[in-house]
Amino acid sequence: MGKSTEPVKIKIKIDEEPEALASTLEMSEAIRTAPKNTNTYMPLSAGIESTAALIYAVKDPLMQPFCVHWYEPRYGLFADAMAFYTRKQAEYFGLPYGNDKSMLTMLPDMKDVPIIVSGLSAFMSVVIGQPGGFKLRYFMMGANAEDDMRMKLQFREYRKICATYLSDSLDGSGVKLENIREVPQIMNPLDFLTKAEMYALIIRECPDMLDLVWTCFNPQGTLKDNGKITGYIPCGVCYKCQELKQAKKTAADAVYRLQEGEKYFSRILQDMD
Ligand SMILES: [Zn+2]
């Protein structure tokens, strides 16, 4: 994110941080003490892809997600909005949740480190450093058909780093079978869906989630009730807002609409209001 935009100023608001912030160490502890059957590391951003992936994971009998948001204070209100909505999503399904606040990108003398790098390094630390054995079996990925390959390649290298490290081997030729098994599998069951198709999936499978999706990187403020934040206001003009609008339009024009008719279409229209 942010390649074509102005550099984001570091903005740390310690007294206003959302609840449930945790370091990678605290996250590791939270995963260790999560319900015994917890087996899926589920990164959430509150965007369309991770929301669709969460709905899938919740309904998959093999997966018990632990929801993680990679919190970046330097994104200011955008970070707070994502933390707010990802937390709401986890709460909706009654799942354990934590904001992993990797400090790497907050160091003032460093260049902008992409969130995927700090996030994956936080994930790897949790896997390798997990006290009491390996609990996580799956890493749930939310990438759509357009950007799936880039994600897949990045994630594959992280699995290799974990496996070679655990096997004490300098390359893949010495990796032990049991160590490969210990490194969570990358799951991306929705890899063939476009953003618009994922949006349609959310509408069909769990329309309540539409109120908990957040994509705008330029929030215009918060909604409050008795001083308590109840939501954030999207700008409606940034490229992420436009992208979401286009996904809704595409979903509204889908062949499926002709096949299934009114209900699907009217839900999209309601959501577009
Ligand atoms: Zn926006």
Location of structure tokens 């409606």: 236
| Nearest-angstrom CA–CA distance, 50 and 199 | 11
The two tokens of residue 144 are 């759509």
pLDDT tens digit string along 20-63?
556 777 888 888 888 889 999 999 999 999 999 999 999 999 99
Taking the centre of ligand 1 as the mean of its atom positions, its distance from the CA of residue 256, in whole angstroms, is 28
117: CB partners within 8 A, 6+ apart: 104
On the question of pLDDT at 10 being above 70, the answer is: no
Taking the centre of ligand 1 as the mean of its atom positions, its distance from the CA of residue 103, in whole angstroms, is 26
Taking the centre of ligand 1 as the mean of its atom positions, its distance from the CA of residue 244, in whole angstroms, is 9
Which residues have C-beta under 5 Å from ligand 1, the single-atom ion?
A: 216, 218, 234-235, 238, 241
Residue 19 maps to a domain: no
Residue 76 maps to a domain: yes
Which residue segment(s) compose the domain that 34 sits in? Answer: 24-193
pTM: 0.84
Q: Tell me what percent of the residues of the chain surpass a pLDDT of 90.
A: 45
Lowest mean pLDDT among 71-80, 175-184, 200-209: 71-80
CATH number at residue 159: 3.40.50
Q: How far is CA 203 from CA 181, 253, 272, in A?
A: 36, 14, 12
The two tokens of residue 189 are 């069951």
Determine the straight-line distance between the first and last CA of the chain, rounded to whole angstroms: 27
DSSP state of 209: G
Q: Are strands 222-225 and 228-232 parallel, antiparallel or unpaired?
A: antiparallel
| Nearest-angstrom CA–CA distance, 93 and 58 | 8
pLDDT tens digit string along 117-173?
777 888 888 888 776 667 899 999 888 888 777 777 778 888 899 999 999 999 999
Residue 220 maps to a domain: no
Taking the centre of ligand 1 as the mean of its atom positions, its distance from the CA of residue 239, in whole angstroms, is 7
DSSP state of 151: H
| Nearest-angstrom CA–CA distance, 113 and 91 | 29
Residue 74 maps to a domain: yes
Residue 6 maps to a domain: no
pLDDT of residue 108: 64
Domain count of the chain? 1
| Nearest-angstrom CA–CA distance, 259 and 229 | 40
CB 53 within 8 A of CB 190: yes
Residue 260 maps to a domain: no
Question: For residue 12, how far is the Cα from the chain centroid?
Answer: 22
Residue 30 maps to a domain: yes
Taking the centre of ligand 1 as the mean of its atom positions, its distance from the CA of residue 45, in whole angstroms, is 15
Taking the centre of ligand 1 as the mean of its atom positions, its distance from the CA of residue 218, in whole angstroms, is 5
Lowest mean pLDDT among 79-83, 117-121, 160-164, 206-210: 117-121
Residue 93 maps to a domain: yes
